[in-house]
Chain A
């Protein structure tokens, strides 16, 4: 069974940093692109970015709203994906979901990690 578990969420002040982790199990992690998707309170879904699978070089892509501030990485030896968030803004407040980007949409989702950016 595919499982994705996010951790590292919490309350952070504007301008500060936070790192989320996504621990995967139940599949060959290195073979899959991993995406992060966020959802602001009461709002819709927004794709944040992804890190490609190992066969595709593990390169990254980002939404314009986070490019230059957020960095996605992966450690295939640990089956973990990371979302490093710097220079956080109040509008980054959201539940952040780790997803498996299986080439046919996001076919597995974690339960999400709440990030609240507030002074």
Chain B
């Protein structure tokens, strides 16, 4: 199985400041045949199901604010919130879908400093 490891486990950021979450996979999730990284990011607010934010490592899902961006390739990925808003307080998960056995990172909790 591909192991996904996020860092940090939690972070506190001031309103309006940048938040950066890292995700590392134990093997590459890049398919050379189509040059796509099979990596997604989700946001989960308390008491709610997760919501897809980013797919193909950098494509924003419909309706996702442009302050959210994804980057990276191969085994190293980053989710950036460019200007943290109060409504962004949540747990964020990365997930690979390059193999049949889908796997998630352990989650990163984002709070307001």
Contacts and interface: CB of A to CB of B under 8 A. Distances in A.
Interface in A87-110: 97, 101, 103-110
A105 B104 contact: no
Contacts of A109: 49-51
B55 A107 contact: yes
Interface stretch (B10-18, B20-28, B74-82, B93-101): B93-101
A10 to B, nearest CB: 19
Contacts of B95: 45, 105-106
Interface residues of A, number: 21
Interface residues of B, number: 23
B55 A105 contact: yes
Nearest to B44: A45
B85 interface: no
B55 to A, nearest CB: 4
Contact of A105 (B44, B97, B100, B106): B97
Interface of A is mostly: strand
A42 B58 CA distance: 28
B102 interface: yes
B101 A106 contact: no
A13 interface: no
A110 B48 CA distance: 10
A84 interface: no
A117 B52 CA distance: 29
Contact of A63 (B40, B56, B101, B105): B101
A109 B42 CA distance: 11
A47 B102 CA distance: 6
Contact of B102 (A35, A64, A110): A35
19 contacts: A44-B93, A44-B105, A45-B42, A45-B107, A47-B101, A47-B103, A63-B101, A64-B101, A103-B97, A104-B59, A105-B40, A106-B40, A106-B52, A107-B61, A108-B52, A109-B49, A109-B51, A111-B49, A112-B49
